[in-house]
Amino acid sequence: AQTVTQSQPEMSVQEAETVTLSCTYDTSENNYYLFWYKQPPSRQMILVIRQEAYKQQNATENRFSVNFQKAAKSFSLKISDSQLGDTAMYFCAFMKRQGGSEKLVFGKGTKLTVNP
Amino acid sequence: EAGVAQSPRYKIIEKRQSVAFWCNPISGHATLYWYQQILGQGPKLLIQFQNNGVVDDSQLPKDRFSAERLKGVDSTLKIQPAKLEDSAVYLCASSSITTTGNNEQFFGPGTRLTVL
């Protein structure tokens, strides 16, 4: 069974600075997808960024980028120029398509606070 | 485009009572998911539907939980009888699987269940 570990329960960063959230996962699969989801206090989960394991190039979405190290099974999220609106829970998630199943396996999350 | 709708937003019941949650996915999304998110943890998949068929219900406690999606659109999740450990946020998500493999799941606001 796949597992996802986020070792930082809470983090804080000053506005406009850069922060990196860590995520490691365990799988014996070769083809899979990795995601970072954001869950603001209102609780609506929003996709931040996704990475396909067969792609070597790290995904980037505006201020958000990932460092995907497949051999190390590591998938960290870097947030540049942090904004107050980035304050939220961040979940790392793993997905492997199997027989139509697209189950997302989530880590426990990292609570990020951006301070003014 | 309207997002995933869920109701009620909050529900408080006593143990051994029954409760039902409703979800309406994004129009045209064939796949619907129910996740359970216990406080301090990441969401855990309970059941995945493809149209009105069940794809994955391996983590659904079938002795007390049931779910249906009769017409392949909206869905209900029921708990009967509820236990204290069922206190959680129940998240509904939907996705549209395309030939490009886009598998983003869109989440609703969730229903917070408290069992006393």
Q: What is the pLDDT of residues A4-48, one digit of tens each?
A: 999 999 999 999 999 999 999 999 888 889 999 999 987 789 999
pLDDT of B76 > 60? The answer is: yes
Note the CATH number of domain B5-111: 2.60.40.10
Nearest to A104 among B55, B105, B109 (CB): B105
Which residues from B are below 8 Å from A when comparing CB atoms? Answer: 3, 31, 33, 35, 40-45, 48, 50, 55-56, 89, 91, 93, 95, 97, 101, 103-110
Residue B114's φ and ψ, nearest 5 degrees, are -120, 125
List CB contacts of B45: < 8 A, sequence separation 6 or more.
Answer: A103, A104, A105, B33, B34, B35, B56, B59
Residue A45 with chain B: CB contacts under 8 Å: 43, 91, 93, 107
Grade residue B98 by pLDDT with cuts at 50, 70 and 90.
low
Whether residue B110 and residue A109 make contact (CB cut-off 8 A), yes or no, is: no
Quote the pLDDT of residue A70.
93
B116/chain A closest Cα distance in angstroms = 22
Give the H or E element holding residue B37.
Answer: strand B31-37
Flag whether pLDDT at B36 surpasses 90.
Answer: yes
Q: B40 vs A108: CB contact, 8 Å cut-off?
A: yes
Whether A107 and B91 lie within 8 Å, measured CB to CB:
no
| B64: its two tokens | 């007390």
Contact criterion met (CB < 8 Å) for B105 and A42: no
Tokens representing residue A61 in the block: 């979405």
Alpha carbon of B18: minimum distance to chain A alpha carbons (Å): 24
pLDDT beyond 90 at B83 = yes
- pLDDT bucket at B52, cuts 50 / 70 / 90: confident
What pLDDT score does A2 carry?
A: 83
- Note whether A104 and B45 are within 8 A (CB): yes
Residue B101 pLDDT grade (very low, low, confident, very high; cuts 50, 70, 90): low
Contact B103 A33 (CB under 8 A): yes
Domains along chain A? 3-115 (2.60.40.10)
Residue with tokens 């199943």: A101
